[in-house]
Structure 1
């Protein structure tokens, strides 16, 4: 695929917003170099970011930021600098992995919780591991099981849709619109891409773009099962398209990618 055609494809895949470079690199390292010994050379990082229009200076600043924040570390290899995730970066990436790469949404039971308004507020009322959204004064939707006898804890099931005033708290209209937009963009990439015509660099760059855009969307949403989400939420459509795209865009062998860039 020509550079001009690939630029048009990536612009469509990215939509109207240019990714923050440091966030794009977090996706890149988490997707391509999660293994403890995996490293990306500086040349490879620059080639992948340049392929989607990010300038070398911006990449350099973002790498410096991620090193300073303890997300990645650098290693000298001859005259080259290679980068890999720190244990902290790897741990954070693995924590998000099920939501980004999982084939289905959460299957945790969900509850509507109403607290006793006469009781003092407990700021740590729900564990951090639970998906929780406040619906109104002292009322919540959460995946946390009942631990307080003073709470009204009502299970929510899939027998019928929730009222809009609840579902739009769980997934605000702007997030629904973002999911609809991403669904359209993924379908465009699937429809318009001749994956066999892409170079290895283009395949990998497009993969990182696809993972990044899905990661941005799914991590903005709360980890609730789909049956309580509003009809405007297109997360399931995005997840299906994401899985299909990754079938066409497999994780590369990093040594092969390095060699391809050196000879290209």
Structure 2
């Protein structure tokens, strides 16, 4: 590892760190979803610690976060030698698989065909609520009684008025409701953080894993917090598509290391020293 590569890695980690501090359980979920989602895939405590301590996370915070994830049914562990191996449970794999296509889709939404669903209480609202809580990119609520969904109108459903729709204009109030200010600020922050770094130098597997985890974590926390919508729905200050381009350009240059490479990697020094938020591990 050359001095230039080490400096580039350190600068990138510092730039990509969460401005509000790291939520350790969420970072672990991002790592497992990116590199250990397959059935039977797992990582030892020692290797996981090597991946995320350079991000400014203390080993004790990792232990607390793993306890929380086991309690919530996301991960499990088994003894191997003197240590433990951690892996996603079937529930955790299902949850990760549901959002993986959205997280790793490098293309912008270009949906042109839409349909509208209008409900009246009480049974129609219950049905609309159920549809809205289904697939991540299913029904988008415009207000309490109205939903918008991609594709042609489905078969008739009791208690819902259903109509094909062509989007002619999206008002500012709806754009800002779909993409609220804190989300726009988070996206702009990541977009700015990615701008100055350019092509990464040759990095060893552990440093690639550190950066991939941090990058996927930041992007995941943005892309899963808004519906997938074409440009006419975007506020004027939404930087999502610029950010998407930068995220996938960098991911392409950080090949995913194997878990076996991470198990045998030498530890890195802690790169960051950022105090976590009060509930970071919990």
TM-score by length of 1: 0.85
Is residue 174 of structure 1 aligned with residue 178 of structure 2?
Answer: no
Q: Which is richer in helix?
A: 1
* 1:175-230 alpha-carbon deviations (Å, 9 max, x no partner): 22222222111223x33x6432x343222101100000000000011133344322
Greater RCO, CA 8 A, separation 6+: 2
**Aligned with 1:140: secondary structure?**
strand
> Which structure 2 residues correspond to residues 29-48 of structure 1 after superposition, within 5 A?
29-48=32-51
**C-alpha contact 2:115 2:148 (8 A) present in aligned 1:** yes
> Cα 1:174–1:156, aligned 2, differ >3 Å: closer, same or farther?
farther
- What is the root-mean-square deviation of aligned Cα atoms in Å? 2.8
What secondary structure sits across from 2:227 in the alignment? coil
Unaligned runs of 5+ in 1: none
Q: In 2, are the aligned partners of 1:44 and 1:258 still within 8 Å (CA)?
A: yes
Q: Which residue of 1 aligns with 2:243?
A: 238
Unaligned runs of 5+ in 2: 270-282
8 A contact 1:110–1:143 mirrored in 2: yes
Partners of 2:214 and 2:127 in 1: CA distance: 37
Is 1:55 the equivalent of 2:58? yes
Superposed CA deviations along residues 59-115 of structure 1, whole A, max 9, x for unmatched, are 000011111111111122222311111111111100001110012244553344444
Q: 2:114 aligns with which of 110, 114, 137?
A: 110
Give the 5 Å matches for 1:80-159: 80-106=83-109, 108=111, 109-115=113-119, 122-125=125-128, 127=131, 128-129=134-135, 130-136=137-143, 138-143=145-150, 145=153, 147-148=156-157, 151=161, 153-157=163-167
Q: Which SS does the other structure have where 1:37 is aligned?
A: coil
Contact 1:22 1:65 in 2 (8 A): yes
Number of the residue aligned with 2:275: none
Distance 2:31 2:40 in 1: 15
Which TM-score applies when normalising by structure 2? 0.80
Compared CA separation, residues 152 and 76, structure 1 to 2 (3 A): closer
Q: Does 1:195 align with 2:189?
A: no
Stretch deviating more after TM superposition (1-10 or 96-105):
1-10
Q: 1:112 touches 1:156 (CA, 8 Å); kept in 2?
A: no
Shift of 1:35: 1.4
Question: CA separation of 1:47/1:120 partners in 2, compared to 1, >3 Å: closer, same or farther?
Answer: closer
1:261 to 266, 274, 277: 266
CA distance in 2, matches of 1:150, 1:63: 44
Partners in 1 of 2:268 and 2:21 — Cα distance?
A: 30
Flag the 1:161–1:19 CA change in 2: closer, same or farther, 3 A.
farther
User: How many residue pairs were aligned?
Assistant: 258
